[in-house]
Structure 1
Amino acid sequence: MDTTVLGKTIYKNYIKKIFDLLMATFLIIVLLPVLLVVYIILRVTTDDTVIYKQDRVGQYGKVFQIYKFRTMPKNTPILVGKQRAKIRNRVSKFARFLRSTSIDELPQLVNVIKGDMSLIGPRPVVLQEVALIQLREKSGANSVKPGLTGLAQVNGRKQLNNIEKAKFDAMYAGHVTFKADILIVLRTLPIIIERDGVRKFFKKRY
């Protein structure tokens, strides 16, 4: 086996798992003050559980429960695509901030530690996103664990259609390397900072 191919295989099957576990643990420790503040605010302002659990499609189509900070009222319907606009008015200002900064996704670090997810990989989708799930199955994109961020997220995110998302997801699944993961991480932070929701939030205050 070619040494380059061997190196990629070792990273994908072994080193990446160790890297995920160590980094997720480190991030939880570093971000603990933020997590606690968000938890307390939501605990005081919400009538339901602070941590929201939802079924998502993972590696090889396996369904698992993802963890998020609750930003929607209880019994809010699960809508996909353009239909999501119908439930935006149910989101509080604080919840919008959590969503725009992706802070609501931080509990997924626990999913990474549990082995359901990776730091980098295709975003896990809800079961209702049948078209995207089928495209991922056909392209082989579901051969890797879903991630907190991925190649599609740094190349357009919500602006991409399902075919484009599946294309980027498959591209990543076929070329999982340490270099690729680092580049995606480095491209993710500026994207979060540049989101309209983040700019508007701080513009109003400063």
Structure 2
Amino acid sequence: MDEVFADGEERTRESNEWERLAARLHPGVSVRLPLSRIPSRFYAHAKRAFDIVFSAMGLVILSPVLAACAVAVKATSPGPVFFKQERWGRAGDRFECWKFRTMLVETPPDMPAQDFADKAAFMTPVGDFLRRWSLDELPQLANILRGDMSIIGPRPVIIRERRLIDLRIPLNAEAVRPGLTGWAQINGRNLVSDEEKAFLDGEYVANMSLAFDARVFFRTLAVVASRRGVDRERGN
């Protein structure tokens, strides 16, 4: 009986925590809390078809931009054009995530950008520009075409960020393909805590739909244009 009460108290505490985060992230707005549900099979097939079509179109249409970024990286810094890093994928599977390299080759590996005391010291001459306009993420269109990722979904987590992974698992955020952009990216991006990121990723899974994906996509364009939330405040 004591175990039953303890479990109930734990669930109440978790519910109160999610409600607190919801009030902070969406003030004055009624939101659906993470429910750990998986969307319908129809939605999953439609989403994958959308990913294939739009990632292929993106690679073709943006090929001049991709080529220009590759030349800029190669011409301004010795080392490879692409940065490849193992990330957490769907259901805990790992995959190689591709980006344009924005940091020097001697940069400590597998360290989140926000953890550097002086990130600028490791940045390539064009790295800051590529990051601010999210151009470094464009090679992930190939990851989407391969099936490693989706256009919309929780961002793929670096392997060493175990705390964030553990926070996301109970909310089922690991049960879907990681995304090029996601709900957390348009609600603070790198300015939110791990708890808030996990909550937003779980909230996305609880509300997944074609309409919600469209909402995230178009708001992403606005966020990229404004460059909000690219980095934590300069003083931190």
- TM-score of the aligned structures, taking structure 2 as reference length: 0.76
1:118 aligns with 2:186: no
Instruction: Tell me the alpha carbon deviations over residues 108-140 of structure 1, each in whole angstroms, 9 at most, x when there is no partner.
Output: 000000000000000111111111000111211
Q: Which runs of 5+ in 1 are unaligned?
A: 1-7, 199-206
List aligned pairs for 1:69-108, cutoff 5 A: 69-77=100-108, 78-80=110-112, 82-108=114-140
Identity of aligned residues (%): 38
Q: Which runs of 5+ in 2 are unaligned?
A: 1-38, 231-236
Larger radius of gyration: 2
Equivalent residues, number: 191
The RMSD of aligned alpha carbons is 1.8
Measure the CA separation in 1 of the matches of 2:146 and 2:49. Answer: 12
Report SS of the residue matched to 2:126: helix
1:62 aligns with 2:96: no
Paired amino acid for 1:152: A
Aligned match for 1:18, one of 20, 40, 49: 49
1:143 aligns with 2:172: no
The equivalent residue for 1:157 is 189
Report SS of the residue matched to 1:137: helix
Aligned match for 1:187, one of 214, 219, 227: 219
Is contact 1:57-1:124 (8 Å) kept?
yes
Is contact 1:97-1:197 (8 Å) kept?
no
- TM-score of the aligned structures, taking structure 1 as reference length: 0.87
Paired amino acid for 2:146: K
Measure the CA separation in 2 of the matches of 1:100 and 1:125. Answer: 19
Measure the CA separation in 2 of the matches of 1:171 and 1:84. Answer: 29
Instruction: Tell me the alpha carbon deviations over residues 68-97 of structure 1, each in whole angstroms, 9 at most, x when there is no partner.
Output: 001111131132375224333221341100
List aligned pairs for 1:29-44, cutoff 5 A: 29-44=60-75
Is contact 2:155-2:181 (8 Å) kept?
yes
Measure the CA separation in 2 of the matches of 1:111 and 1:53. Answer: 11
Report SS of the residue matched to 1:55: strand
Measure the CA separation in 2 of the matches of 1:81 and 1:37. Answer: 24
Paired amino acid for 1:175: N
Report SS of the residue matched to 2:118: helix
Greater helix proportion: 1
Measure the CA separation in 1 of the matches of 2:163 and 2:229. Answer: 28
Cα gap change, 1:98 to 1:14, in 2 (>3 Å): same
Is contact 2:140-2:180 (8 Å) kept?
yes
The equivalent residue for 1:48 is 79
Is contact 2:99-2:138 (8 Å) kept?
yes
Report SS of the residue matched to 1:18: helix
